[in-house]
Chain A
Amino acid sequence: MPEMSLMNSAAVVMVVMVILVSIISGSLEYTYIHIDGLPYREARQPIIGTFYYYHLEAIIPVIGLIAFQPVIYEVLSRHSASLDLRRILAFCFGNLLLALILEDATWFMLRRFSPLLSDPLAYEWIRPSDYTASSLGYSVIFGAIIPLWYLILVPPIVAIYAALIVLPKD
């Protein structure tokens, strides 16, 4: 695995891969995870915050595995210096945070723009009563409700990616 920098094409590929996986996960969740004809999120309460059992048991582990794939590779191949490993770890952590936001947002994008026929809240973007918005509050940005937990995760993501762009390779 080459050394990590966002200028590095391997890192760009990783970010794209994580984005794709999180979008696919959000789509699969919206399209297939139902109960009694309702999207699961509209039929049950989450276990923690905005997360359901399938997030904790399947979606997040899968996304995590892909997001942390560079670290796993480096650890298994044992050819990175500890400083590099910390940098890669930070990069992977940033990817995971980004994936969490994208997975959640994809679910609501589908409900808003390409809803299921059986979805009673079809064509609705995030509402104040949706758990994603109510768990840590929400903000209205340009007329759209944005959960505050998105905004909590954005600064570390920006900081991590920025640091990796700014810092030259050793």
Chain B
Amino acid sequence: MPTVSDKARYRRITLVLLISPIVFDLGLNLLEGSNRRQLDDGPTIYSEAPGKVAVITGESLAYNIPLLQVQRLLEHQGLVYDVVKDRDFTVAKSKEYFSAIVVGGSQPTSLSGTAIEELTNGGAGIIWIEDMPSHLSPLFGIRTVPETESHQTINRIDYGEFTTRIFNEAIYPIEPLEAHVNGWFMDNADRRVSPAETSYRSQNTSGIVYYFAYDACSWWGVDPEYPWARAYRLQMALNNILSGHLTVSLAPYPRNLKTAFITRIEDVDPLHNSYEWIMRAYSYLEYYTSRNALLSVSLTPTYIDPSVGLDIGLEAVESDVLRKWLSHVLLSGGTVIEHGFTHQYNGKKTGVAPEFYNEEKREWLSLNEQKQRISAGANQIRSNLGFSVKGFEAPHYLANKDTYAALSQLGFRYITHNSDTPFLDRIGLAEGLVNIPETLGYIPLDSTKELEETMKANIDMLYNMSCVILFFNHLYEDESLKIGEHLLEYSLTKPMVWYTNTDNLAEFWHERLNAYDKMDVKLGRDIEVTLGPTRKAGLTIVLPEEKSIRRVHVNGALWPTFRDNYVILPVLRETANSILISLSEDEPNTNMPQGLTLVILSTALSILLFKKTTSTHHVNRTQG
């Protein structure tokens, strides 16, 4: 028989089991009521507007750069848009959009004033760039005026925080009626001549309308001081007209990162084997690696100087030290980009001339010739480094459609050029190619502190625009090494930056574009986003900052990776993937009844087994 002390011990153990977490669970749940569905004041029903932007063009698009730049901006932002002809933009059609950008340079003379008025009265924002019919100007709170002599003296636009130059281009004089002036045309004598950019909201319920009295979509990247000022203003205007709307966008970088920082080591060839350059290169690599940043190296695998009969390939003994450094770059997570096969043509030496374009004869190499040269360079890199290049940088950025076709046929995935855009760029390239744009310029010889400060100011602007920050560095002198390090250090002070290489970004952008090309947004009780397939996890759907996501389903299954106003997506395998985002209620604790039943069963069984075991033991002991 159990003794008195044994009985007391059993009671204690039973007590322990009884006050096991089930008691906490049930009691505290009753107190807190936390397992109940938490509802807001009521589910919000969003407008059925599909959340698309209309890009309206006229018939006479003299050159397509403005339209291309608007498309690049919208694709980079991950917004769904349609390009609509002015005559097709009717009142009924306008209901399909929650904002519009009008490319005024294309002379959208058939655009219905009623459709525009309906659009703004319905709360949609509009950006009008360049030429505007005078009868529409009152909708923008402005009045068009004739050009005067003073307009001939305009040389820049003053935006307060920065200025941007005016080049040999048309401007459109206006006077503000009720509109707010955001930027002024300035003359040589530093006087305000007329408004360059205005914004206006006619009533509290109507949308914001912006007018750009100059071609805000052209001359990007030309101003040496603030190359992206025009793109920045356009993007700010777009952000403002979208504010207040339930905008759904696909972020340009993974994991909701704000921007990507990339450094290219430029014009590296087999003669980069001097002790000084190699030491600098190792020091730079070490600096980057210790800060988890990567390098991308633009490599020309053969050096030629016909005047002295020099022809050195990457396989040469003299290139041993360079090959070793390149291997270190690859091992540290960096990459190598092919920068032409020889970076020269005819009797010129490597580096001083382009490769595919003969500047004297003004002739391009044929598709086959280009393909042979690109292929020869890629093979040389592969055989010496064991690395298959996926990126190409045309010498002197001189490439034509045959270059892109050759790259596409050879399986290259991207180019990295300055194509006068800071945004993701695939338009005008061959199938399967994207451009990782060079946006921050380069560090020239004898650089000064002022250059470093200008580059830092442009880092700020690119960061605010969520554009890729990419500069190149030749590492020709210690000063360029130091400036490069300072730029990385400056960037490291900013949050949410992706320190990556060109390969990684290109691969991500390809996957993002696959998903984006099928993107569709439906707003109802929940937000339903449709996306194409992607093999990369990390694509991010972003809602306006003030929104708070409560529940997400991906292809019908509950998805956990969301926070505040964004969802980070898994690999999407279906041709069309459905992402259902709910803002109105928490994930209901649907499996709680089953779980709770199991808790009760588990506790009861545990108590029974415990009692049975202990009593059997005592019976055995007693019999023994």
Contact = CB atoms under 8 A, between A and B. Distances in A.
Query: Shortest 3 CB-CB distances between A and B: which pairs?
Result: A148-B595, A137-B592, A137-B595
A162 B17 contact: yes
B368 interface: no
Contact of B16 (A36, A37, A121, A158): A158
Contacts of B602: 151-153, 155-156
Contact of B603 (A142, A155, A163): A155
A139 B25 contact: yes
A131 B560 contact: yes
Given A38-B561, A44-B537, A155-B20, 5 more contacts: A37-B255, A38-B255, A121-B563, A137-B592, A162-B610
Nearest to A129: B560
A152 to B, nearest CB: 5
A135 B592 CA distance: 9
Interface in B532-547: 536-538
15 contacts: A38-B538, A120-B568, A124-B563, A136-B598, A137-B591, A139-B28, A141-B28, A148-B25, A154-B20, A154-B21, A155-B17, A155-B22, A155-B599, A156-B606, A163-B614
B84 to A, nearest CB: 36
A167 B587 contact: no
Interface of A: 35-38, 41-45, 118, 120-121, 124, 127-131, 134-142, 146-156, 158-159, 162-163, 166-167
A149 B25 contact: no
A130 B563 CA distance: 12
Contacts of B536: 36
Given A140-B34, A158-B16, A45 B593 contact: no
B277 interface: no
Interface residues of B, number: 55
Contacts, number: 154
Interface in B557-582: 557-563, 568, 570-571
A158 to B, nearest CB: 6
A167 B254 contact: no
Contacts of A151: 20-22, 25, 595, 599, 602
B591 A162 contact: no
A152 B255 contact: no
Contact of B255 (A118, A136, A141): A118
A135 B614 contact: no
Given A44-B570, A148-B598, A37 B29 contact: no
A121 B567 CA distance: 11
A158 B20 contact: yes
B589 to A, nearest CB: 5
A121 B21 contact: no
Contacts of A166: 9-10, 13, 614
B570 A43 contact: yes
A146 B32 CA distance: 14
B499 to A, nearest CB: 11
Interface string B604-620: 01110110011001000
B371 interface: no
B590 interface: yes
A118 B590 CA distance: 30
Contacts of A43: 537-538, 561, 570-571
A141 B27 CA distance: 9
Contacts of B35: 137-140
Nearest to B32: A140
Contacts of B65: none
B13 A162 contact: yes
B595 A152 contact: yes
